[in-house]
A and B are shown apart, each in its own frame.
Chain A
Amino acid sequence: MSDVELPVAVEALRRVREDPHRLGHRGHGREGPVPGAGHADTGPANKRIVVGYGFWIFLLSDIVMFSCFFAAFAVQRHATAGGPGIRDLVELPRVALETGALLLSSYTCGLSFAATNARNKLWTQVFLLATGLLGLAFVLMELQEFVSLAARGITPQRSGFLTAFFGLVGLHGLHVSVAGLWLATMMAQVQLKGFRREIIHRLICFNLFWHALDIVWIGIFTIVYLMGSAA
């Protein structure tokens, strides 16, 4: 069967069927432990599980770090020292555009992984590129926001509140920028090395990271901007 060329969709189906761990396709507790998944007494998990698992743990730690910056924002929200408050900062149209770009990039990121699952290099690259460009648009819009605020004298040096604002939003922007570097590296790797086992593992991790940043942005969008505009 394997030496016959199958249509892409059938090929993907076959892969799902042959996934020995059937991740996301199993009921809970009804079947016995799966060998290779690191369950119970079945021995060490295989590389795919270990890499994904470790990356999830990293994401949790990263979210703890964000939570500190969220906490600082909550503590210092009213510490404006007589300077501008949250109402003076929020420009909802721009933020809506930023949010749209980032959410769309998560969607294209998911599409890129669907293409990866089908082992389709062209579409993987197209959707990764779209993800990167949308991410770039997000970062540029944020940068422009910061520059225009600075032009109005609204800088982190002005007050504790502005420090917490720029710190939280800036940390997220920094994450997206670093993720963009990672994305560019991954595109080069996919192009030059193809869908090797370890490259697919890295693509899984990249996808997780990108979606996690999206989720953090939902938090920032809600707590900083939406609640700020309603303040």
Chain B
Amino acid sequence: MFGKLNWSAIPFDQPIPLITSLVLVVIILGALALVTVKGWWPYLWREWITSVDHKRIGVMYILLGVVMLIRGFADAIMMRSQQALAINAPGYLPPEHYNQIFSAHGTIMIFFAAMPLVIGFMNFVTPLQLGVRDVAFPTLNSVSFWLTATGALLVNVSLFVGEFSRVGWLPYPPLSEAAYSPGVGVDYYLWAVQISGIGTLMTGINFVTTVLKMRCPGMTYFRMPMFCWTTLAASLLIVAVFPILTATLAMLSLDRFFGWHYFTNTAGGNPMMFVNLIWAWGHPEVYILVLPAFGIFSEVFSTFSGKPLFGYRSMVAATLFICIVAMMTWLHHFFTMGAGPAVNTAFGISTSIIAVGTGVKIYNWIFTMYGGRVRFSVPMLWSLGFIFTFVIGGMTGVLLAIPPADFLVHNSMFLVAHFHNVIVGGVVFALFAGLDYWFPKAFGFRLHEGWGRASFWFAFFGFWITFTPLYILGLQGMTRRLQHISVEQWRPLLDVSLVGVGVLIVGAACQVTMLVVSILKRDELRDVTGDPWDGRSLEWATPSPAPFFNYAVMPNVEGEEAYWDIKQRAIETQQLTPEPSYEPIEMPVNSPVGFYTAVFATITGFSLIWQIWWLAALGLIAAFAGFVVFAWRDVHELHVPVEEVARVDRARRAARAALIERLASQGALP
């Protein structure tokens, strides 16, 4: 009746997951109770859960990413403290639990923290920068988000019901096959990632179409802000490689469920095929994460240097170059697995070549600052920290790209330090920069400057104190994923690394404090003009927070830096352009289909994990029924009356006019 599910799935005998999950259940129930008592459900349902507004969906993605970032960080704290405590001692985490933690850490950080954060920014920013009112497929966008949330939920359910995968963030066979991992851990991994991966694929399709087909009048390709280019490149990569992930995970599921032989080490199965397929997805995946991060930095450097981005066209070329070469380097993840010198050399060269594209970008950012009037605001701090951190991470990467060197340090803590160096320094720093940069556009007030600076400095030094020792430990021969350590000499460096984690915790606490303080002081931090940073791209032309239709009148772009041109003209003539004639706007209506899909995807995913076949079938039928009902809808669009459009835009114009008047009275205008 219930497949493999029974009471022994609840970890009554393991205090750590049991207590953690009980605390989580209490927090979730408390939050639900609060929402119910306060009567917030109608608001949440109407404005968020069923919303198809790209900005709301973006904010929900970012919220999901931040929550999962904290979860993944908790795993990281446990790993670092276990390694510091388990030197010739048992530590506090038994092996099977420790293995689940490092598997969960990688899975959560890549799939459910970094990806939602990156996609969240793509959602929030891209349509605004393109000067349009929504993405190409708004309802599909909502479905994508809810599928990602389903995956995140399933990973976290594994804490309480059953177990998580113990085989690392990529389930290499034959270890991940049913013969060697008979529990449900790998199945949790497979279905959580499969479901969220389908959501990501739909996001990729959505954003390729959005960037290529939905740009405001005048927005030619070479007038698009850099972030839009990186969104396009990342989305193209998603479309090209996420189907590989889907196929590979499906094959492994078939092996596990039905005893097929794609990747088994018996009867003609081929484990190396898995390794090739998963990295054919996995290497482009890191560029899917880092390209939009590069886009964020490009916006920040140019805005806070008061200059156009240096070498815009070379930046576009470098982005597309990386997009293509990203698919030609996958084998460097397994130089040691028997490909032979010729193949290894080819992939070593392609890996070194891809660094050229990144190098072009680094120089462009530095030259953007050169001769500019640089303002060291919080987003700029993260960006400068990024240049320093990422260049070093990139150089250790080029070192690993040399096959003979890789043979010495592969699978060591050196590798762990390297990829954290690029992912934390590249992606996470970008996400914090973007959070500070676009927060006012989402909520109408800036984040507190002082706490933002504090969180940067703690994160920056915390990062280096944590990971520098890992580089050294890797060179000394420490392999990754050790639950037990028997080399006494490694103790001082492991202790230093643990101290670094402490500094990072302080940094995270500063971020939370920043958020709380900013909300409390939101009236002081209010952004009345909609342009708090003296921005250059179109999103700063709308009020903060942006109205749900983004633009009262679709902008008409006449140059490379759309909003900067408009602003310069207003300053020169000391007045705004004449009031446009407003027209009613058509916007897509809200839809519960995304949430509905998530409910049944959760049920189906959970029952597949536990092999409750009848429930899985029911879930699929219900999902199909949901799509049919959705396809039967008669109302697709709602009309925003012209009075409402005019009211919002006149308020925006009044704020801008007041600003010009104030500047003029101060004699700040020419």
Contact = CB atoms under 8 A, between A and B. Distances in A.
Contacts of B136: 50, 53-54
Contacts of B219: 41
With most chain A CB atoms within 10 A of its CB, the pick from B136, B137, B241, B636 is B136
B216 A44 contact: yes
A41 B262 contact: no
B296 interface: no
A17 B275 CA distance: 53
Contacts of B220: 40-41
Interface in A71-124: 71-72, 75-76, 79-81
Given A44-B214, A80-B268, A157 B631 contact: no
B557 A61 contact: no
Interface in B122-138: 132, 136-137
B251 A167 contact: yes
Interface residues of B, number: 51
Contacts of B223: 41
A158 to B, nearest CB: 7
A65 B262 contact: no
Contacts of A185: 628, 631
Nearest to B557: A41
Interface stretch (B205-213, B311-319, B508-516, B653-661): B205-213
Given A61-B201, A72-B273, A167-B260, A159 B215 contact: no
Given A42-B217, A163-B254, A167-B262, A54 B137 contact: yes
Interface stretch (B15-23, B242-250, B301-309, B373-381): B242-250
A225 interface: no
B405 interface: no
Contacts of A62: 243
Nearest to A159: B268
Contacts of B261: 76, 79, 81, 156-157, 159-160, 162-163
B554 interface: yes
Nearest to B209: A54
B360 interface: no
Which A-B residue pairs are the 10 nearest by beta carbons?
A160-B268, A79-B268, A38-B213, A68-B247, A65-B243, A43-B217, A64-B243, A54-B209, A81-B268, A45-B213
14 contacts: A50-B213, A53-B213, A54-B208, A57-B239, A61-B242, A64-B239, A64-B243, A65-B244, A68-B277, A71-B277, A75-B273, A80-B268, A81-B261, A159-B261
Interface of A: 38, 40-45, 49-50, 53-54, 57-58, 60-62, 64-65, 68-69, 71-72, 75-76, 79-81, 156-164, 166-167, 181, 185, 189, 193, 198, 202
Given A79-B268, A159-B267, 14 more contacts: A38-B214, A44-B215, A50-B136, A61-B204, A61-B243, A64-B243, A68-B251, A71-B277, A76-B261, A76-B270, A79-B261, A81-B261, A163-B262, A167-B251
Interface of B: 132, 136-137, 201, 204-206, 208-209, 212-220, 223, 239-244, 246-248, 251, 254-255, 258-262, 264, 266-270, 273, 277, 554, 557, 624, 628, 631-632, 636
